[in-house]
Amino acid sequence: MAQLVVEERGSGKFTQDVIAGKHRLTADEPREAGGNDEGPGPYDYLLAALGACTSMTIRMYAARKQWPLSRVRVLLSHAKIHAADCADCETKVGMVDRIERAIVLEGPLSADQLAKLMEIADKCPVHRTLTSEISIVTRRVEA
């Protein structure tokens, strides 16, 4: 299991260091939410994970099929919406999270290839994680 460390930086109310192996990232909240805006927020990283996984999954599939895909771009947004406004949602009361994902596929691809690549997008592991049951086990450990 991959381990990632997130710890307070101490330079701001919400500023966090994110350590993933040899990579260091910063997470924060925007100023209007009380942060220093030193990095993307938690939902930005969630969207980045989905977008990166989507693009990589599409790229791997197109490469395996030797299709002429020249570029993939994934545009994402997140919002909390009223459950009553979501016709496809099981939840009918309160708020639900909505992620909108738009995918740009560049290259001389046929209509069938484009349709297949859009189908493949939903097979990326992060998409599957976000749309399946998730078990998060939390425990306290000594410093």
Q: Which of 5, 21, 12, 20 is nearest to 39 (CA)?
A: 12
CA-to-CA distance for 17 and 19, rounded, in angstroms?
A: 6
pTM assigned to the model: 0.89
pLDDT of residue 43: 96
The token pair that represents 56 in the structure block: 């990589």
Q: Which two tokens stand for residue 42?
A: 């938690």
Q: What is the pLDDT of residue 97?
A: 86
Q: Dihedral angle at the C-alpha atoms of 43, 115, 124, 18, nearest 10 degrees?
A: -30
Low-confidence residues in the chain, pLDDT < 70: 1-2
Cα 14 to Cα 32, 76, 86, distances in angstroms: 12, 24, 32
Q: What is the pLDDT of residue 1?
A: 60
Q: Give the number of other CB atoms < 10 A from CB of residue 76.
A: 18
Domains of the chain: 1-40 (no CATH), 41-143 (3.30.300.20)
Q: What is the pLDDT of residue 3?
A: 87
| 10-37 pLDDT tens trace | 888 999 999 999 999 999 999 999 999 9
Res 82: pLDDT: 77
Q: Is-contact 11 36, C-beta < 8 A?
A: yes
**pLDDT at residue 91, rounded to an integer:** 72
Residues 31 and 37 sit within 8 Å (Cβ to Cβ): yes
User: What is the predicted pLDDT for the residue at 86?
Assistant: 74
